[in-house]
């Protein structure tokens, strides 16, 4: 099974998280946090049983080259005009190597992701086109195709409903780390309680130290 992870440029992505570092505006660090969230997600994804390739489809691959250290590949989005188009670029890329395999789309903001929860989700899907909703029940953190079948991604606001309506099976396992995507400071706090990956924890610790009142 191969995974596609879409990412906008780290400076402009995850705009709802800008306040999360608790530092005055303009002190930077946002892009470091976005890259750290992705690095922890990718480390867990590449370690999951049954996962073969993990491909980041990036608007700006140069800004994300360091993510290759996680074992993921990083490719450009070839002029895709939005998130779902970027996912289709990744799908074509993976299908050109393995037309009959399962492909999945995984969000890049799962810093508490545990490899065993991702593997359990793939096992529950058991060859069906299926998805994991986020912890709020409205978004999607993982969408899987059937073997050789179309991914047909419908990410965006209300994507859990859109994926259900398009015939994808909602996965039922709890998998809190897989459902814990981070869009807001509140989501980041939730992920902290689950147990953050090393890179995200390090970025937050550094910012706390450097922005503490003197
Ligand atoms: N390659 C690529 N990735 C995208 C594109 N649009 C969104 N993404 C990524 O898809 C994921 C979900 O995107 P969004 O929910 O639109 O935006 P976001 O970056 O999470 O955050 P906000 O700015 O707070 O809305 C994020 O990892 C984005 O970086 C796109 O056009 N191309
Ligand atoms: C695009 C989505 O994610 P988010 O807005 O949570 O990043 C989605 O859940 O479909």
SS3 for 93?
helix
Write the CB contacts of 213 (distance below 8 Å, at least 6 apart in sequence).
none
Cβ of residue 34 lying under 6 Å from some atom of ligand 1 = no
| Cβ of 159 less than 6 Å from ligand 2 | yes
Atom of ligand 1 nearest to the CA of 59: 1
Edge-to-edge, what's the strand order for the sheet holding 73-76?
Answer: 73-76, 54-58, 2-7, 103-106, 140-144, 130-133, 169-170
Q: Which residue has the higher pLDDT, 13 or 165?
A: 165
Does ligand 1 lie within 6 Å of residue 132's CB atom? no
Q: What ipTM goes with this model?
A: 0.97
Per residue in 98-150, pLDDT (tens digit) is: 999 999 999 999 999 999 999 999 999 999 999 999 999 999 999 999 999 99
Q: How far apart are CA 26 and CA 177, in angstroms?
A: 31
pTM of the predicted model as reported, rounded to 2 decimal places: 0.96
2-211: CATH topology is: Spore Coat Polysaccharide Biosynthesis Protein SpsA; Chain A (3.90.550)
Residues 6 or more apart from 33 whose CB is under 8 A from it?
A: 14, 17, 20, 21, 200, 203, 204, 207
- Given this model, what pLDDT does residue 201 score? 96
Residues 82-88 have a mean pLDDT of 98
What pLDDT score does 120 carry?
Answer: 98
Q: Which residue, judged by its Cα, is nearest atom 1 of ligand 2?
A: 156
The response to whether residue 92 sits with its C-beta less than 6 Å from ligand 1 reads no
Domain chopping of the chain, boundaries = 2-211
E-strand ranges in 134-210 read 140-144, 169-170
- Mean pLDDT for all residues in the chain: 94
For residue 131, which ligand has an atom nearest its CA?
2
Question: From CA 204, how far away is CA 130, in angstroms rounded?
Answer: 33
- How many Cα neighbours within 13 Å face the side chain of 49? 6
Per the document, the length of the chain is 214
Q: What is the pLDDT of residue 23?
A: 59
């Amino acid at each position: 099974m191969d995974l596609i992870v879409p990412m906008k440029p780290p400076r402009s992505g995850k705009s709802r998280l800008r306040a999360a570092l608790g530092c005055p505006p303009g002190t930077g660090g946002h892009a470091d946090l976005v890259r750290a969230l992705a690095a922890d997600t990718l480390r867990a994804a590449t370690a999951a049983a049954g996962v073969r390739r993990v491909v980041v489809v990036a608007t700006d691959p140069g800004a994300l080259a360091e993510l290759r250290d996680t074992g993921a590949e990083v490719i450009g989005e070839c002029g895709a005009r939005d998130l779902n188009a970027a996912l289709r670029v990744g799908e074509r890329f993976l299908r050109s190597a393995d037309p009959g395999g399962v492909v999945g789309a995984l969000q890049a903001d799962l810093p508490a992701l545990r490899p065993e929860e991702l593997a359990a989700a793939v096992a529950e899907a058991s060859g069906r086109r299926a998805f994991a909703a986020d912890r709020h029940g409205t978004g999607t953190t993982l969408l899987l195709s059937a073997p050789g079948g179309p991914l047909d991604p419908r990410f965006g606001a209300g994507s859990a409903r859109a994926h259900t309506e398009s015939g994808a099976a909602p996965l039922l396992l709890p998998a809190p780390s897989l459902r814990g995507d981070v869009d807001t400071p509140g989501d980041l706090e939730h992920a902290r309680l689950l147990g953050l990956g090393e890179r995200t924890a390090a970025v937050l610790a550094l910012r706390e130290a450097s922005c503490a009142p003197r």
